[in-house]
A and B are shown apart, each in its own frame.
Chain A
Amino acid sequence: MEQFSQLLLAFIVFLSLYLLGSSSLTGCINIMALQGMCLGFLPLTVRAEGFHSRTLLLAAGMFILKGFLIPRILLYAIREVKIRREIEPMIGYAPSLLLGAVLIGVSFVLAERLPVPAGLRTSLLIPVSLATVMMGMLMMISRIKAITQVIGYLVFENGVYLFGLAIAYEVPWLIEMGVLLDVFVAVFVMGIIINHIARAFDSISTEKLTRLND
């Protein structure tokens, strides 16, 4: 079980890196869906002492929401505004891949120094969660289209979820539900906003929003 969870974590980091290097928006959303599914599996592998019905329910909720529902909303959004590709990222794909690698390194260093419970020190959970948070951030910073920013935000959120999984021995039910609801609403709102941006500016590029400064 332990090894399976490490494998899943490695896969999650790999997916985040893949996201950084991918230019097709549909591809991005699919990768994100895959990552969400991995996250849904993860709670089942982390806890050694067997399955509670609650854990199962959470895993199922995560699986459905992040694996299916949110990707469907995003796919619907890009079909509505008719875009396929992130054309001009502010940081190119290769440099962002390199940066992603650097960030993974930084997160390992940080995780080393972070005061965490002794049992977690050897686990990949902390560095992977930090790396995912940072790569989500990087994605939000380096991309221009609003939709890729939403994807970045979701990746960031996945990282936060991972961190919560690592820190809280038994994540309280309410907090989990809160996080899920939060993400769902955020994506929902962003989907609507993207549509509105597209309608108002004939583009979903957030660059147009600089007009609103001052």
Chain B
Amino acid sequence: MTLILAAVLALGAAALLSGLFSRHDPWARSAVIAGLAAAAACAGALAERALAGREVPDLLGPWLLPGAVFHVGIDPLSACFLLLVLIVGCCAGLYGEGYIAASHGHVPSTPARFFFLVLVGSMALLVAARNALLFMVAWETMALSAFGLVSCEHGKPEVRKAGLLYLLCTHVGSLCLLALFALLGSNAGSLEFSAFAAAPPLPAAWTTAAFLLALVGFGMKAGFMPLHIWLQEAHPAAPSHASAAMSGVMIEMGLYGLLRLLALLGPISLEAAFFLVALGLVTAVFGILFAMTQRDFKRLLAYSSIENIGIILTAAGLGCYGLARNNSSLALLGFAAAILHTLNHGLFKSLLFLSAGAVYQAVGTRDIEACGGLQKRMPWTCALTAIGAAAICGLPPLNGFTGEWLIYSWLLRPGAGHGLLLGGLAAAILAVVGAFAVVTFSKCYGLTCLGQPRSATASAAREASWIMLGPMALLAALCVGIGLFPGPAIRIAFTAAGDVARAAGPAAAASSEEWSRLLSVIGLLGVGVCALSALLWLFRKSLLHRREVARGPTWGCGFSAPTARMQYTGSSYPVPLTRVLAAALATREEAHPPVGYWPDKAAYESRTPDPALERWLPALTAKVEGWISVPRRLQYGRLQLYLLYVSAFLVMTLLWKL
């Protein structure tokens, strides 16, 4: 268990060293790489031991804070998230070195390195924490280092705004968590997690309060539907390797928190489970709808993170349903699906953010409509993007499919006792989400990588450096590997889910065997499809051998003078869907169509603002401002009056108490 401490200390030391060597770039770079490597080695060994089922004794240490014990431990659930933190952290950290170099000073290297390492270290500590106070300390460190990363490029006003919004949101979440732990701690008489588990159940009203507090506190970080407002602002603002770590791992820490609480406190009620499923579905539909309409590719990816969080939440809700029904195989399947999809999402989403960063550095903009034709200029980046995009759509030979497959099989399982209608409805909604995801990512990939370059910078784009491509390739390889050989990942997910579902080890192992056998067949089928297309391509090549093939310009379409502006745009590509869903999207359009026979000017502009951020939040803040204007009258800014308040209070307490 000292290994986790060694990992966290290595990351912290590397963070300090990278700060100290801010003038010597190569030294700082080697500090970062050495720290990440050391942490990966330590924690990887630890996670391997925990996942193999060997008992790892907890580490307890005294701590100066009252009520706190420095208690770290590891179980399969922790180990699973620890693995994710390390894989994504190492890949993104290594990539970050290339990214910082490629940005030519636009990304301030010292804070980017320092906060990144602190972020990874705090997340590693977070998953191992076994004491509520230690958990909160790690949680806040994580939140604040992420703030440092979001506001890295604080010279830009939109970055400052995003950073502030993120800071506000994360503080609201932390406040809820503090209240939650205070509630649980006062019930258990201790802030140790083991005491929470051993404590008598809370009274009904308090259980609801604790559920809501946990939902808001963890949901704020994870980005459940009305609480997601910071996500799509903060992720584009952060440097790409930081957004990869934030989107791939940090937001999933909210889900880790929920799962950890479930593991400690036991089943929630059936209504609450239904609520979680419904919330997950709403979040997924909302996220993918808004992802579809975005022009900024990092913002698109952020919305897609919301969608995936929704899918994971749905799966977790299904697991809760199984728990509430006392059906341990259903519970196991639901939680395993949630954990597996979390792992997969961490991998492909960070891959996509990393490739978005590579495109951003090459083209200099995040606007999809200024890219295009990058496949010829950045073949490796685009190929890896294609793998990530296919994985996030849940296409079979890749890892995105495995988690979603588990969810579908839960929903469509006959005789699960939940009514096929509801399960079918949820499955239909998930299928629609999957279809929209295909639209979204075919748009994102197609418009950036295929076609003709839409701007001068896009046509001058150059391939990213190997230090950026290497980590991306590793993530892509993991995506493909899990898709083809899902056995190990499924075993990890089921072992971890066994903790939450309170299922015995053998049961978890048995069902993981069952599902991995099935899924590897599907993986092989996927390989078969790929192999078939490869064969067809080879066949075509052999047919074309020694024949003359004319190559026209892409999107030539028989026009005599085609221009790049004739291509699909980011808004026109999903129009068949956005027109249908106009009511939900509330897209604002401003059109000045060409008038007359010789029109001189025409313009069209459309914007899809986030409803939660731009409509609901202002309404809410106006209300809250109304309420707090009453006590505000007490504030005059006059020293004498404040003194009067203080002394009046003192005299009152004296008179009252004596």
Question: CB within 8 Å of B: which residues of A?
Answer: 90, 106, 110, 113-114, 134, 137-138, 140-144, 149, 206-207, 209-214
Contacts and interface: CB of A to CB of B under 8 A. Distances in A.
A137 B647 contact: yes
A141 B646 CA distance: 10
Interface string B620-658: 000000000000000111111101100100010011001
B187 to A, nearest CB: 35
Contacts of A214: 635, 637
A141 B638 contact: no
Contact of B647 (A141, A206, A210): A141
Contact of B640 (A113, A114, A144): A144
B651 A142 contact: no
Contacts of A106: 651
Contact of B639 (A134, A137, A138, A149): A149
A137 B647 CA distance: 7
Contact of B655 (A110, A210, A212): A110
Interface string B115-141: 000000000000000000000000000
B106 to A, nearest CB: 35
Interface of B: 635-641, 643-644, 647, 651, 654-655, 658
Nearest to B646: A137
B359 to A, nearest CB: 44
Given A110-B658, A134-B647, A206 B639 contact: yes
Given A113-B658, A137-B643, A141-B643, A213 B637 contact: yes
A140 B644 CA distance: 9
A134 B654 CA distance: 12
Given A114-B658, A144-B640, A149-B639, 4 more contacts: A138-B647, A209-B638, A213-B638, A214-B637
B637 A210 contact: yes
A133 to B, nearest CB: 9
A163 to B, nearest CB: 13
B654 A110 contact: yes
A200 B589 CA distance: 52
Contacts of B639: 149, 206, 209
A70 to B, nearest CB: 21
B640 A210 contact: no
B644 A141 contact: yes
| Residue of B643, B654, B658 contacting most chain A CB atoms (<10 Å) | B643
A29 to B, nearest CB: 20
Nearest to A113: B658
Counting chain A CB atoms within 10 Å of each CB, the highest count among B637, B638, B640 belongs to: B640
Contacts of A213: 635-638
Contacts of A134: 647, 651
A95 B134 CA distance: 56
Contact of B637 (A90, A114, A209): A209
Nearest to B640: A141
Nearest to B657: A113
Nearest to A136: B647
Nearest to A214: B637
Contacts of B658: 110, 113-114
Nearest to A152: B643
Given A110-B654, A110-B655, A113-B658, A207 B647 contact: no
Contacts of B636: 210, 213
Contacts of A211: 637
Contacts of B647: 134, 137-138, 141
Nearest to B644: A141
17 contacts: A134-B647, A140-B643, A141-B640, A141-B643, A141-B647, A144-B640, A149-B639, A206-B640, A209-B637, A210-B636, A210-B638, A211-B637, A212-B637, A213-B635, A213-B636, A213-B638, A214-B637
A149 B640 CA distance: 9
A75 to B, nearest CB: 23
Contacts of A207: 638
Nearest to A103: B651
Contacts of B635: 213-214
Contacts of A212: 637
Nearest to A130: B654
A212 B637 CA distance: 7
B341 to A, nearest CB: 47
Contacts of A142: 640
B3 to A, nearest CB: 47
A31 B636 CA distance: 32
Contacts of B638: 206-207, 209-210, 213
Contacts of A137: 643, 647
A209 B640 CA distance: 11
B438 to A, nearest CB: 51
A17 to B, nearest CB: 18
Nearest to A138: B647
Contacts of A114: 658
B115 to A, nearest CB: 31
A143 B641 CA distance: 11
Nearest to B658: A113
A213 B640 CA distance: 13
A211 B637 CA distance: 8
A57 B58 CA distance: 58
Contacts of B644: 141
A212 B643 CA distance: 17
B654 to A, nearest CB: 6
A198 to B, nearest CB: 16
Give the interface centre of A137, A206, A207 by most chain B CB atoms within 10 Å. A137
A207 B638 CA distance: 7
Shortest beta-carbon contacts, A-B, top 9: A213-B637, A113-B658, A210-B637, A137-B647, A141-B644, A141-B643, A141-B640, A140-B643, A206-B639
Nearest to A143: B640
Contacts of A210: 636-638
B455 to A, nearest CB: 45
A117 B513 CA distance: 77
A144 to B, nearest CB: 7
A209 B651 CA distance: 27
Contacts of B654: 110
Contact of A140 (B640, B651, B655): B640
A211 B655 CA distance: 35
A155 to B, nearest CB: 13
Nearest to A209: B639
A207 B636 CA distance: 11
Contacts of B655: 110
A140 B658 CA distance: 25
A110 B636 CA distance: 31
Nearest to A211: B637
A207 B641 CA distance: 11
B165 to A, nearest CB: 21
B658 to A, nearest CB: 4
A91 to B, nearest CB: 10
A56 to B, nearest CB: 34
A20 to B, nearest CB: 15
A140 B651 CA distance: 15
B192 to A, nearest CB: 38
A190 to B, nearest CB: 12
A197 to B, nearest CB: 11
B468 to A, nearest CB: 47
Contacts of A143: 640
A14 to B, nearest CB: 22
A111 B647 CA distance: 17
Contacts of B637: 209-214
Contacts of B643: 137, 140-141
